[in-house]
Amino acid sequence: MNNPYEDAKLLGEYLLFHYGTDGDIMPWDFGPTSGLQFPRRTVEELVDVSKLSKDSCALDIGCAVGGSSFELSKICQRTLGIDYSKSFIDAANNLKDQRSMPYRFLVEGRLYADGLAQIDIGPGEVEFKVGDACDLPNDLGSFDLVHAANLICRLPNPMLFLDRLPELVKEGGQLLLATPFTWLEEFTPSDHWLGSGDSEQKLQELLSPHFILDERKDLPFVIREHRRKFQFSVSLGTRWLRVH
């Protein structure tokens, strides 16, 4: 059974990651500030806006508390955010309705600080739903843009998601992936890890029958655990165009 205190802590961590001020996420001047604003950067740095039409629709899969989905709403007419976690989707829906949401994030031990998540929503519609990237509904349709940030190495079987991508991305559409390839048995049994130390090459092999690589960049990100502990990772950000 999930521990509600752990769940609340994780929700606070993600609300801070998506909506926190730079100073709250990284209160140390000497810290890795290149890792701030990740949910905004995966959209700004990976989407080719020149290839989007006015009525584009987007899917943000593994959207967590919705930071990138709200960014996508600035450039797409419709955005659907899907995540497996009901508490994350509830928070994203709450933010969509209220435009702001108080939350607490860990300082140290049992001491928490108050934060206020506020969204800067675009003109496009946004909808959030609970769903499983490995078992998406057959009638989900197809999208001009599919965004999946830091998702594939959190899935029990990434192939089930990767195999659906040609169907989910319209021909000429964009697939935006970001992944640090942090393979962990607790999320993905090792026989389902992509490649054995060559995940990027494996990803290229898997996607190449339907997609061409159009952009590749390193996207650092920093997640605060508490005042004195942070996760610094570098996601591989890629943009793929669906050609066949």
Can you tell me the distance from the alpha carbon of 207 to that of 219, in angstroms, rounded to the nearest whole number?
Answer: 20
Tokens of 98: 């209220």
Tokens of 86: 């009901």
CB-CB contact of 153 with 180 (8 Å)? yes
The sign one gets for the Cα dihedral 154, 158, 161, 165 is positive
- Give the H/E segment covering residue 14: helix 4-19
**What's the DSSP call for residue 23?**
H
Query: Closest distance between ligand SAM and the C-beta of residue 10, in Å?
Result: 9
Nearer to ligand SAM, 79 or 150 (CB): 150
Query: Closest distance between ligand SAM and the C-beta of residue 27, in Å?
Result: 20
Nearer to ligand SAM, 33 or 87 (CB): 87
Query: Closest distance between ligand SAM and the C-beta of residue 64, in Å?
Result: 3
17 — phi, psi (to 5°)?
-60, -40
CB-CB contact of 151 with 162 (8 Å)? no
Nearer to ligand SAM, 8 or 134 (CB): 134
Q: Which residues bind ligand SAM (CB under 6 A)?
A: 17, 39, 62-64, 83-85, 88, 132-134, 149-151, 154-155
Q: Is 112 left (phi over 0), alpha (psi -120 to 50) or beta?
A: beta
Query: Closest distance between ligand SAM and the C-beta of residue 154, in Å?
Result: 4
Nearer to ligand SAM, 21 or 108 (CB): 21
Q: How far is CA 133 from the centre of its chain?
A: 12
Query: Closest distance between ligand SAM and the C-beta of residue 243, in Å?
Result: 25
Nearer to ligand SAM, 59 or 63 (CB): 63
Query: Closest distance between ligand SAM and the C-beta of residue 235, in Å?
Result: 8
Query: Closest distance between ligand SAM and the C-beta of residue 162, in Å?
Result: 13
Nearer to ligand SAM, 72 or 149 (CB): 149
Write the DSSP string, 73-123. TTT-SEEEEEES-HHHHHHHHHHHHHSEEEEEEEEETTEEEEEEEE----S
Nearer to ligand SAM, 66 or 173 (CB): 66
CB-CB contact of 214 with 240 (8 Å)? yes
